[in-house]
Amino acid sequence: MTTSGVQGITETDIANYLANTPGFFERHAELLGSVQLTSPHGQRAVSLQERQMEMLRDKIRGLEGKIIEMIRYGQDNVSIADRLHRWTRTLMLTPQPAELPGVLVRELMHQFMIPQAGIRVWGAAAAFATHDFAQPVGDDIKLFAGSLTLPYCGVNSGFEAAQWLDEPTSAKSMALIPLRADAAESAPTAAFGMLVLASPDPTRYTADMGTEFLVRIGEIAGAALSRLLPVRG
């Protein structure tokens, strides 16, 4: 090989040659013991085999960390599923439709440690007109609820829904969930109410958070509260 040819060889060329020539180290086994590398855990020199073992140990530690994280996420998901199951079961066991909004809000706060929650149903049958959940709301909040395809999550910017809470001024972040009788359908009907969750922590409900869980809450709540709607002829 000429000098110019040697100068034209790059480290990538060497790496590719070794990767594609598995018999090289079989023919030159003495190199495995003579190659010295710097350990990433200090300045001492280590053999190629030892360096490979360190790399494998680091990789194993990384995989162990990912497995532990996956287990933790799995446990969290099981816990959430259990709490959602208990909440749903409580709604199903509530015999009187008029009690549903109060039970829904109270159990939701209890199961998921939500500081405040409120609800309004503006499409309820006339028999429920005197209940707190059926008190009149403004047209703006109705239009807003009807426009939501996903729950709103973010800061409390003076929403009327904050006034449905026991302590409106302490609500720094909110989740606003529209209620529909058939929210899970491909073409759901108009919203007949809204559920509001609130926290004094401004970072609990943010615009970039996932809403899949809140969507499920809305679907279950909407289905349960559809018992309050007028019976269609």
Per-residue pLDDT at 94: 96
Q: Bridge partners of 121? A: 193
Closest CA to 222 of 175, 190, 187: 190
In the predicted structure, residue 2 carries a pLDDT above the cut 60: no
Q: Which residues of 150-173 are buried (b: 16+ CB within 10 A; e: fewer)?
A: ebbbbebeebbbbebbeebeebeb
Tallying the residues shown for the chain, one arrives at: 233
More confident residue, 88 or 11: 88
Top-confidence residue, 76 or 144 = 144
The 10s digit of each residue's pLDDT in 134-180 is 999 999 999 999 999 999 999 998 899 999 999 999 999 999 999 99
The answer to whether 190 and 146 are in contact (CB under 8 A) is yes
Greater confidence (132 vs 27) lies with 132
- Residues 221 and 38: their CA atoms lie apart, in Å, by 61
For 52, 81, 213, 224, 232, the CA distances from 217, given in Å and listed in that order, are 50, 12, 6, 11, 25
User: 187 falls in which pLDDT band (50, 70, 90)?
Assistant: low
What's the burial of 71, exposed, middle or buried (CB within 10 Å: 0-12/13-18/19+)?
Answer: exposed
Higher-scoring residue by pLDDT: 76, 165 = 165
Position 9 scores a pLDDT of: 83
Give the number of other CB atoms < 10 A from CB of residue 30.
9
For helices 212-225 and 48-92, give the axis angle rounded to 10 degrees. 10
pLDDT tier at 39, thresholds 50, 70, 90: low
Fold of 94-228: Beta-Lactamase (3.30.450)
So where are the chain's domains?
3-56, 94-228
pTM of the model: 0.69
Higher pLDDT, 13 or 7: 13
Half-sphere exposure of 84 (CA within 13 A, CB side): 15
Give the CB-side neighbour count of residue 125, counting CA atoms within 13 A.
Answer: 11
